[in-house]
A and B are shown apart, each in its own frame.
Chain A
Amino acid sequence: MIATNEPNAAALSRMRRSERRAMLMGLLFVSPWLIGFLIFTLYPVFASAYLSFTDYRVLAPPKWVGFSNYTDLIGDHDYFLPSLFDTIFMFLELPIALTIGLALALLLDQKLRGIAFYRTLFYLPSIVPVVSSAVLWMWVLNPEHGLMNAALHSLHIPGPAWLASPAWSKPAMIMMDLWGVGGGMVIYLAALQGVPTPLYEAAALDGANGWQKIWHVTIPQISPVIFFNMIMGVIGTFQYFTQTFIMTNGGPDNSTLFYAMYLYQNAFQYFRMGTACAMAWMLFIITLIATLVVFKSSARWVYYEGEAR
């Protein structure tokens, strides 16, 4: 036993040495990414956590102020809290986008001639960069010369001022975003193709009609994908920025001064970097909680193949 053990141990330590070598080589090869990650991601994350407890005006060194950035924000009924509530309003978009995306995916899942053309047609808007589509929609929604109000006018409906009206600015942005629903739609479409046909056949044998098939077969089967889109939607909504930055700059009457927009103003227009960092960390925590809530709820409605229930 002992005699055979010795070479084994030697082999083991040799192995370890070569493993160590392999590991070093591996680290060396990933080091461009690793160094980038440490310097440009991890360090700023920790730095922003520290800065959120300081008064940091960029040009002068940060001064420690404890929790006052946080308490000031929570007590700010003029800008901070409205910006959070305006952002939460945008969550209206989530169920609408989900329903329309899924409905389109179901329609485009039909075996029709030229279906590829229709799929392309509905997917196309979602590959237009947000900045371009925002600039385009500024003119579509223009109350004076816009296509939208021209169309409404021909139906004898007086069009609202859209982005120039505090009441309509958020609905207008939601409407614009729905134009790009194709991104989610494609994911649903891929999931729909993965639903096993025997399930539909079994449902048909049991006398299920079309609607029942969707409700009892399709939706449970693709629920992981709905879940995925929902999580991405939650995170994306909290970070809502580009559209308002391009189209309204927070106006009219601060109606589109969303959380990320107000954060940007603090950081880059007012040089209140400490406040901006505190906002970023609060946003992180809020997003984390919201995501966890969705995750928790997922046990009730998301179906995974092979999962004991």
Chain B
Amino acid sequence: MISAAAFVGCGSKPASDAGVVHLKVWSMWSGDEEKGFEAVLAKYHEEHPNVVIDNLGAVTDEKSIRAIIAGAPPDIFTIIDPTSLSTLAANNALEPLDTRFADAGFHDVDFTPGSLGQCRYKGKLFGMPYLLDCVTLMYNKDVFVQAGLDPNKPPRTFEELEADCRKITKRDSDGKLTRIGIHPIDVSPAVIISMFDGKFLDGDRVTADYPNNIEALNAYMRLMNDQGGYPAVQSFASGFGANTGQFNPFFHGDVGMLVSGEWNPYWAYKYSPNCHFGVAPLPYPTNHPDRAGSVWLADNIFCIPRGAKHAREAWEFLAWTQTPEAQQLFASTLHNVPNIRVELHDRKLTDDPPFVPKNPGDRDPNSWRPAYGQFLALADSPTATYFPSMPVANMYVNQLATAFDGVGFGSKKPEQALAAINGRVQKEMDKYR
């Protein structure tokens, strides 16, 4: 009895809070990124004193989903893996936002292409982006010079990428790999397929074995063979440190190229200031020239769960995050790409103003911005792609990775491996009809 009374007591807010709305936000960020997000929240509170936002950091998608099931969701939560949005939307777990979007006077054309598409499921809007990731090719200029390549000529086509990888790949006297052309792990099957104008879905039909997808898989295996074969490359890559810090093999020159995002210029500045690298669009196959200039996009998505206590105030916050000031504020600490188009060309974000060191050895604190700006410019590409909205995307992506792995180790044939995915994923898809 006593403990029950104590539980009830916990739920109510102090009376002095009258008129102030407490918004519960669950976000994915931790560490420095969390501090950046909290600065955004502080700014919002400053402009909207009647709203206090309580942030819980480092929340995983699973935790949010569990809270929704348990009927105790926050008012807003972030989705780490954009493909989870469809799963949640298909299960009726998210508040639809189309009316609010229209009432707020937003227009699709003002958004970075692709940023809203990832927030829609079956044409309806279920989330709002707040910055996004733009994944493309980075190349280490020092490695290019060592391999006898022009440090100002990144590969434009897939064929050039292959040739460059062959030149960069190096072995020791025992024949063991000591350097490879491109980091094999971050080049996800979905990105490779997008480079070949592949197709994941045709309406509600799963098209894993679409001819271009098979072409992409074969090309990827060729690319691995250019560097000593899939098993050897995997073995070599298993010695790599994480990409998220000072042990990134790309910064160290163990790999010549990396398919990664806009956060790298700042990290390179912070962890490997002596690394010289360039940024380029994803290489396109010569038989698909229309894929020139493409990149891969992935949003940071904010959703309002069904049953949120303060849906209106939650939306007001999300609408505010779309203002140029809010975009600039968060982009300057998170170093992600703004999802409002005009901000892609905001020179405050991308310029390196003249720098006069006060003491010898002082570093220009903005020297990483021009490279970051290249990612921002590329994000505006009309050929930018992202994984289509579908309720079983997570399974689809995993199965693609397994198929690529199976073909790489020789246990599966490309056509069969991809065709087998169709049946499995389609069966799960059909449950959502």
Check B329 for interface membership: any CB of A closer than 8 A.
no
Tell me which residues across on chain B come within 8 A of A144, comparing CB atoms. 235-236, 238-239
Determine how close the nearest CB of chain A comes to the CB of B169; give it in whole angstroms.
Answer: 15
Contact in complex: A271, B87 (CB < 8 Å):
yes
Interface of B: prevailing SS: helix
Please judge, given known A-B contacts A161-B231, A253-B406, A270-B392, whether A59 and B238 are in contact too, CB under 8 Å: no
Q: Which residue of B92, B174, B405 contacts A60 across the interface (Cβ within 8 Å)?
A: B92
Query: Is B398 close to A, CB under 8 A?
Result: yes
Q: Are A60 and B91 in contact (CB under 8 A)?
A: yes
Is B239 a contact partner of A270 (Cβ separation < 8 A)? no
Q: Is the CB of A253 within 8 A of B431?
A: no
B428 within 8 A of A: yes
Q: Mask for B391-433, Cβ within 8 A of A = 1, else 0?
A: 0101100100010011011010000000010001000100100
A252 partner, pick from B62, B174, B398, B409, beta carbons under 8 A: B409
Q: Is B235 within 8 A of A143, CB to CB?
A: yes
Q: How far is the CA of A253 from the CA of B402 in the complex (A)?
A: 6
Pairwise interchain contact B91-A254, C-beta atoms closer than 8 A: no
Measured CA separation A149–B93 after assembly (Å)? 50
User: Cβ of A143: which chain B residues have Cβ within 8 Å of it?
Assistant: 235-236, 238-239
Chain A hits for B65, CB < 8 A = 58-59
- The reply to whether A165 and B231 contact each other, CB–CB distance below 8 Å, is yes
A252 in contact with B405 (CB, 8 Å): yes
Q: Across the interface, do B395 and A270 meet the contact criterion of CB distance under 8 Å?
A: yes
**A155 to chain B: closest CB distance in Å?**
14
A253 near B92: Cβ-Cβ < 8 Å: no
Quote the shortest CB–CB distance from B292 to chain A (angstroms): 33
Q: Does A239 interact with chain B (Cβ within 8 Å)?
A: no
Kindly supply a per-residue 1/0 record for chain A positions 233-254, scoring 1 wherever the CB is within 8 Å of any chain B CB and 0 otherwise. Answer: 0000000000000000001111
> Which residue of chain A has its CB nearest to the CB of B178?
A144
Given contacts A144-B235, A166-B411, contact A58 B398 (CB under 8 A): no
Complex CA distance for A287 and B234, rounded to whole angstroms: 35
Nearest residue in B to A141 (C-beta to C-beta)? B238
Report B88-116 CB contacts with A as 1/0, cut-off 8 Å. 10011100000000000000000000000
Q: Check B420–A252 contact: CB distance below 8 A.
A: no
A163 within 8 A of B: yes
Question: Would you call A126 an interface residue if the criterion is a C-beta within 8 Å of the partner chain's C-beta atoms?
Answer: no
Chain A stretch 110-136: residues in CB contact (< 8 A) with chain B: none
State whether A78 touches B68 (Cβ < 8 A): no
Does B242 have its Cβ within 8 Å of any Cβ on chain A? no
Which residues in A have their C-beta under 8 angstroms from that of B431? Answer: 55, 57
CB-nearest residue of chain A to B407: A253
CB distance from A287 to the nearest CB of B (A): 27
Tell me the residues in window 29-79 of chain B with beta carbons closer than 8 Å to chain A beta carbons.
62, 65, 68-69
For A78, give its contact among B236, B239, B424 (CB under 8 Å).
Answer: B424
A255's closest neighbor in chain B, by CB? B409
Which residues of the other chain, B, contact A145 by a CB distance below 8 angstroms? 239
A291 in the interface (beta carbon within 8 A) = no
Partner of A59, one of B88, B237, B392, B411: B88
Q: In the complex, which of the residues A59, A165, A251, A254 contacts B235, with contact meaning CB atoms closer than 8 Å?
A: A165
Contact A253 B405 (CB under 8 A): yes
Cross-chain contact B92 with A59 (CB below 8 angstroms): yes
Among B238, B402, B420, chain A packs the most CB atoms within 10 A around the CB of B238
Q: Is A304 an interface residue (CB 8 A)?
A: no
> How many Å lie between the Cα of A230 and that of B189 in the bound state?
43
Q: Which residues of B contact A229 (CB under 8 A)?
A: none
Kindly supply a per-residue 1/0 record for chain A positions 148-176, scoring 1 wherever the CB is within 8 Å of any chain B CB and 0 otherwise. 00000000001001011110000000000
**Nearest chain B residue, comparing its CB with the CB of A254:** B402
A196 to B134, CA, bound (A): 73
> How far is B65's CA from A58's CA once the two chains are assembled, in angstroms?
9
Q: Known A253-B411, A254-B402; judge A268-B91 contact (CB<8 A).
A: no
**In the docked arrangement, what's the CA distance between A214 and B53, Å?**
71
Chain B residues, CB < 8 A from A223: none
Q: Identify the B interface with A (CB < 8 A).
A: 62, 65, 68-69, 87-88, 91-93, 174, 231, 234-239, 392, 394-395, 398, 402, 405-406, 408-409, 411, 420, 424, 428, 431
Contacts A/B (CB < 8 Å), 11 sampled: A55-B431, A57-B91, A58-B91, A59-B88, A143-B235, A144-B239, A164-B235, A166-B411, A253-B408, A269-B394, A270-B428
Instruction: State the A residues within 8 Å of B (CB).
Output: 55, 57-60, 78, 142-145, 158, 161, 163-166, 251-254, 265, 268-272
Closest 5 A/B residue pairs (Cβ): A144-B239, A59-B91, A161-B235, A164-B238, A253-B409
